[in-house]
Amino acid sequence: MARNSKVKNTVRQVVRKSRRPSPAAEKPSSRIFFPAPSSLLSCACTDTATGGFSLGRMVNLIGDSSSGKTFVALSVFAEMAQRKEFDNYRFIFDDVENADDFNTAKLFGKEVARRIEAPYQQDGEPVPSDTIEDFHFNIADALDGDQPFLYVLDSFDALDAKQDQEKIESMRAARTKGNKVAGSYAMSKPKKSSELLRNICGKLKRTNSGLIIISQTRDNIDPMSFEKKTRSGGKALKFYAHHEIWLAMAGKIVKRDRVIGNKVKAKVSKNKVTGKVREVAFPIFYDYGVDDIKSSIEWLVAEGFWKKTKLTIHAEELGLSGTADKLVKAIEEKGQERQLKKIVEKGWVEIEESLKLNRKSKYA
């Protein structure tokens, strides 16, 4: 959709001057995390099943086109909508790729469908960012507002630097006139990225807001090695990310010869909460989303916390036994999801404790 950049920027300047943070706005404690949709992913990030991503920080989700990046990011909104401490938060989704056709109400809840918003509107229509500069303006507007927020940018790769766009147009005009076309136009983005992230990351912490930046990879990541592929933005994203998470499709979930979902592997390759590098897996179903219950059951069995006899799993803490599918149904019917999270966290911490050296402190 065509936009009038001069009018847009003028309106922004007026709005930003009139906006001031409200002293009455309630902000959660810095010890609270943005909740992740998977207990295992939360544990991989914070060693807690109810944690996730730190407030006031930037998270970089990286993966190929079928690895569930957008699903995971939007599911964070859904998890936040279930918790009162985030009632005052804005849900900002910057759909740069214009590729979101999800049934938001069905997959992420009616509350998310009601609260989710574009970063900017013009003539009543949502306008996603087009350039690095647009993104900077949009998140600056949000930071100058009177509400904390979670901002999801999908994706960073789809943004251009304004200088690069102008270079493309000049090269195109030269070719049209029959002149020689020379030079490169993809050099401004890394520099702009570094300036942008340096500017906003400190302000995110001040407001207890959050930023999830989704990055694409041109080739599938090998789920066995998580070989890193090229991503736009240079080294800035890695440098400023509090959590860097690589997602890869580890397999398809098939029922009656039809694919109904994907099994996703996640590697937390940078972690400024615990400092650990951890890998976990969870399924994403097309008509349901991230299946936290199923992945938790599978992990508890794989790690030996729950015994399995043939197809029967014995979940003693919950007083249940049966196949994995029957356990999923029983846990949902009995409302034991929170209890299951506690069991996963207890098991996770037990394993992490067993990995410690338990040596005398070197600098005590």
DSSP state letter for 298: H
Q: Can you tell me the distance from the alpha carbon of 218 to that of 254, in angstroms, rounded to the nearest whole number?
A: 26
Mean pLDDT in the chain? 86
Contact 269, 277 (CB under 8 A): yes
Q: What is the pLDDT, as a whole number, of residue 66? A: 82
Among 44-48, 187-191, 212-216, 317-321, name the one with the lowest average pLDDT.
Answer: 187-191
Nearest to 93 by CA among 31, 26, 152, 45: 152
Q: Can you tell me the distance from the alpha carbon of 354 to that of 39, in angstroms, rounded to the nearest whole number?
A: 20
Q: What is the pLDDT of residues 141-169, one digit of tens each?
A: 999 999 999 999 999 988 885 545 454 45
Q: Can you tell me the distance from the alpha carbon of 4 to that of 266, in angstroms, rounded to the nearest whole number?
A: 40
Contact 85, 61 (CB under 8 A): no
Q: Can you tell me the distance from the alpha carbon of 27 to that of 123, in angstroms, rounded to the nearest whole number?
A: 32
Q: Can you tell me the distance from the alpha carbon of 279 to that of 269, in angstroms, rounded to the nearest whole number?
A: 9
How confident is the model over 264-289, as a mean pLDDT? Answer: 96
Residue 236 has pLDDT above 80, yes or no: yes
Give the helix ranges, DSSP H, for the chain.
5-18, 39-46, 69-81, 104-108, 110-115, 132-143, 162-176, 188-207, 236-240, 292-302, 324-334, 337-354
Handedness of CA 62, 63, 69, 72 (dihedral sign): negative
Question: Element (H or E) spanning 270, and its range?
Answer: strand 258-271
Contact 70, 154 (CB under 8 A): yes
Instruction: Give the pLDDT band (50/70/90) at residue 222.
Output: low
Instruction: Give the pLDDT band (50/70/90) at residue 218.
Output: low
Instruction: Give the pLDDT band (50/70/90) at residue 181.
Output: very low
Using DSSP's 3-state secondary structure scheme, residue 329 falls into helix
DSSP state letter for 361: P
Contact 72, 61 (CB under 8 A): yes
Q: Can you tell me the distance from the alpha carbon of 145 to that of 113, in angstroms, rounded to the nearest whole number?
A: 21
Instruction: Give the pLDDT band (50/70/90) at residue 47.
Output: very high
Handedness of CA 102, 103, 109, 111 (dihedral sign): positive
Q: What is the pLDDT, as a whole number, of residue 1? A: 44
Q: What is the pLDDT, as a whole number, of residue 190? A: 72
If you search the block for the tokens 């005398």, which residue do you land on? 360
Q: What is the pLDDT, as a whole number, of residue 178? A: 63
SS (HEC) of 175-204? HHCCCCCCCCCCCHHHHHHHHHHHHHHHHH
Question: Residue 269 corresponds to which tokens in the numbers above?
Answer: 């390759």
Contact 66, 24 (CB under 8 A): no
